Structure 1
């Protein structure tokens, strides 16, 4: 990106180049050195790590295999150092680092870490289980991040994602229990999220209340209301009001039998398939449709949008309710999506991590999904490491997803620009 400085009259114009940011090459270099020193050179040599790829029901079986710690991590470290050198060269030449570079680098770093953790243990590292669990744990984060994208692209800051997730989980569990149908619970969950979104839109658009304050208050309100109903109605007659119902797994023929890819992507419930559809539809509609153009114009320059005939406040209200419904659908994961009864505060801060995923994804559906998958993977990685009995302290495993959230948002995002008109009420 270049900036042109205006020279005095009669003088020759000069192009002033923007300063080079070495943030990404520095991050790559530090992580590559960590992998080389702590995962490769310092550990005792001669140890091996066992990996498991195949699961029951695969079309063909891939046998478990063993890799040597030192040799494997030397190769992975060399790959990471080579990618670091490539990033340095691209940055020095003022070229954009390709998307495949962080993807390959991240895979190499995770493999080096897993090889180090599992070295010298009789247990195997279940790769497919690790990936499928990461996708499952990412479901509420993805829906929450998509909700934030829809709302904030319209100019409404949706801090109430946590409350919308919890409300969706609550109503989904209650309706599924009363009707003995997980699918009806899945239908009811977005209605609860939409109701919370409607309250947010009502105060933010009609009464111009600060959107962040309204969102925080709604989170507290939903937590208090659901906790009260859980302690009274749901607990007193659990069999009627809070019996666990689970969405059945719907494997896609043939595709679900492919090793690794099949169990992870195509052996899922209806809720996960709805997540796939929501990501694709929103990505296309936000950037390739009239509805998306109007939504983005309302979030960036509402006065200009009003000038060309777009109803700014109505657009914000509709999109905020839609965003609440999307988050409520994600809340169904905690109950009918996981086969669990409703519990107090079972969303456990996932709405705030979804907000971080939205920011890390730069208010883009695909970027938000990638960030949500990163957080889901970090959480399931802690679960898997606890299962195989790694030497990593359990306290670190518990804080891993939150540490990744802070590091990603504070260290990797850099300067990002939110929609210009968010949290600014439009007064015609």
Structure 2
């Protein structure tokens, strides 16, 4: 039969019909009501339950790191750790190793101690630690050269000018001492002296056309020539010692000794540049590394130096200079403007300048001439995007050999 849903509209629902269910016989209904699932013994078993532990496991103690300032007791502890005697010298060595970022272990300590044998204290400890850090653990001369550098006794221009003067005096004495040597030896020695004097004149010549010429930065050839000349003079002196004493002989020997000392001092100045330019081997630090030159200063009268430092690329095992992204540091002294340092950061064709000077008046001049500097660099396809000047001196040693401030260092310890 048809059933109408009350209140329903004719939206297709009026044709809905109810279907009558067929009748089920009573016996069938009764039999269906009596059907039950059979009960087995397994159905009566209760499910297994996991016992709950009553005691919780002990929690691991937390390790709390603590930081405190480095103290003398830490230096003492380190000496005990590496089993070294507790002396003032040993404490100085350990603290200097930490200051320069050298691992304070027993092997390194012994090598540095060996470099200090027969040498006075003071900056020799710094020199020995740096020599070791740069892979020169067997070079005692490196320690002596760096000690002169720390004592501000390295002046290349002054050494070369002095050597030129002694060379001229030696050449004059040599011309008057023909009977003291064979003609072949005299001719060879005179030729070497003349050639060396010519090379020194080129290096010390000042020009207004260029600040520093490339040949002045090439030092390996001259270093080798000076070494060979020094050894040659040693052989000449041995021959002279076998001759009968005379005033002429004594004068020549005295001047020859002065010349050897001058050559040795000039060699130290050149070797100092090579040592400081050498990449450190045993320093735990991410400090910048520089190539270093010292050349005659063309901007002043007298025998003054121009210090040039060029930053190496920190990437790669063998650090080299990336000309498109580097830093150049110039340090020099002038007659009127005082000491000036110029820091130039280069990023492709963009330049950032920082001037540091010892005089406030010089700072004023620099800022006034900044627009002219920008124009000159623009002509060379460089954009000066920043310029700063301050009355502050730069510490050359801190740039070339950066150190850690022990007063600001902290020791991180863990206690359970």
TM-score bucket of the superposed structures, by smaller chain:
under 0.3
Greater helix fraction, Structure 1 or Structure 2: 1
**Higher RCO (CA-CA < 8 Å; seq separation 6+):** 1
- TM (norm. structure 2) is 0.24
Would you tell me which structure has more strand in proportion to its own residues? 2
